[in-house]
Structures are given as structure tokens and as C-alpha cells.
Amino acid sequence: MSKITVIGAGNVGASCAEYIAMKNFASEVVLLDIKENFAEGKALDLMQTATLNGFDTRISGSTNDYSKTANSDVVVVTSGIPRKPGMTREELIGINAGIVKGVVESCLAHSPNAIFVIVSNPMDTMTYLALKASGLPKNRIIGMGGILDSARFRHYLSQALNCPANDVDGMVIGGHGDTTMIPLTRLAGYRGVPVAQFAAADTLAKVKADTMVGGATLTGMLGTSAWYAPGASVSSLVQSIVCDQKKMFPCSVYLEGEFGESDICMGVPVILGKNGWESIVNIDLNDEEKAEFAKSAAAVRSMNSAL
């Protein structure tokens, strides 16, 4: 069984801890936050659901004491300020870059073999920063965004097709941003049948557009970033790593020529196992999708240059 640390005990971090515990694949989850007693309180509240939700995972909290995170197998970084209505992920970069860099360095001091999952926004840039600041092998730094975007894509597809979301398959690649993500509508399927057989082109165009602003839509409704779907996305990613499931998920990882891009972290399909991301899965993109990916990469690069 594994030890998982979640940095940041806010809505997203607590949701991560809850879903990881409820799936019962980790022996221990440590929540850490800078706010006095906040992580401890969230952990106590969650532990009081153990008999009701049937999990044996031990959840503990810590106020900025990184020694409590020692020997973690996976570290999930959710820390940073969340988006407010009208705020782009990009506007967060100045504040969150310093936070993420410090967190990664502090965790590495106690868990030198950990795999890092980056959730903090702007996610592709924070993933790139974590990789460069840590000096870790590229397979141990993973940005979560594509899993969340794909879950939203499948939801909107299921709404359009009036079918269960679990019967629909679809993937979002590219940057984790309102203008940079690329829902691959052409390759989406309903039980193996292309979705274009069930929905008109304008309907699928709306699905794509709704997916791209999926996060902003929720921010406008909630007044802050979403947390249930991000937490579930993280738990699925972490489970594939610690249980060596070899699942394929789109994640933000470091590219060295794949998809025509280098020295950048972007969302592409990867196989996730005990070593982190273990391989990148190539997709035969058409010319339009290739152009979208190149445009997305240019936008992510401009963000990275702000570092």
C-alpha cells in the first residue's frame, strides 16, 4: 500500500484526499496546508466518514510540516490561489509559480523518490516549472489537466447523444486552457462507433466549445474553481500509478519531439504506471488537428516565457 501527499487542503485538495481514500488503494494520505489547523480539520472530518464510506485509508493533516510527508510515493500539488470569476488560468502565473516551486523543493527533501502530480494553474506552465526546478526525470512530473478536460468532454458528448457518459469515449489533448485545449471530436466514439453518426456537425461543434470553457463555466457558477471532477481526475491518475494499472490518460508531460514539439509540457496521451508516465501514445492527427496543436503549443510557450 502507498503513501500519498496532497499539498493544499482547499476544495480541490480535500476532494483529492476523499476520492483516494474511498477507492481504498492507499494506506495513508497526508493533507498539508499553510493555514493553521486547516488540513488537520479537513483530515479529521474525512476520517469520521471512514465507517460510513467503508475505507481503511488513514488520513492525517499537517500545518506546513513537510516532515510528515516523508517517504511519499506520490505528491499531488494543488496549492496556489484558485481562479475567481473572469480570471484566466494565465493570470495566476505570477502568484502560483513561487508557491509551486517552493512546494516541490520542500517535498523532494523528504520524499526524493516521489512522483509529482501538478494540479495548480496555469497547469502546463506549472508542470514545466516543476520539472525544471526539480531536475527530476521527466517521467516523474505529470500535469493532470487532460484527464479533467476529457471527463468534461465525455459528459458533454453524452448529453448531446442522450446516452450514459460511460458509453462514450473521447480525449482532449493540447494545453489545459480555455483557448488551448483540443477536444478530438473526430476520434470520439459511442461504443466504438464514431459520434458523427449520432450527432450533426453543429452539435459536435457546440460540444467542443462547451468543453473548452468547461472550467470557466463552473467558475462563473460557483465563484471559484470546481473541485469534485478535479479531485476524481487526480484519484484516477494516482491509482493508475500506485496500482501499476497502465491506463491511458491524456496528461501534461515533457515533450522531446513528440507531436512536433520540444522543451514544453502539454497534454498528450500517456500510459501511467508505477514509474509515472511510462510512454507517450502517438495519435495520427489530421492537418487541422496538427495546426490546432501547434497553435496551442505557441500559446503555452508564451506563458512559459513569463517564468
Task: Report helix, strand or coil for 237.
Answer: helix
* 111 φ/ψ sector (left φ>0, alpha ψ -120 to 50, else beta): beta
Contacts of 280 (CB under 8 A, 6+ apart): 253, 255, 258, 268, 269, 270
Task: Report helix, strand or coil for 226.
Answer: coil
* 1: its cell numbers: 500500500
Residues 233, 236: Cα–Cα separation, whole Å: 5
CA distances from 125 to 111, 131, 204, 289, 301 (A): 23, 10, 29, 22, 8
Place of cell 511510462: 278
Instruction: Tell me which residues are annotated as active site.
Output: 176
Closest C-alpha among 114, 26, 127, 117 to residue 69: 114
Contacts of 202 (CB under 8 A, 6+ apart): none
Half-sphere exposure of 180 (CA within 13 A, CB side): 28
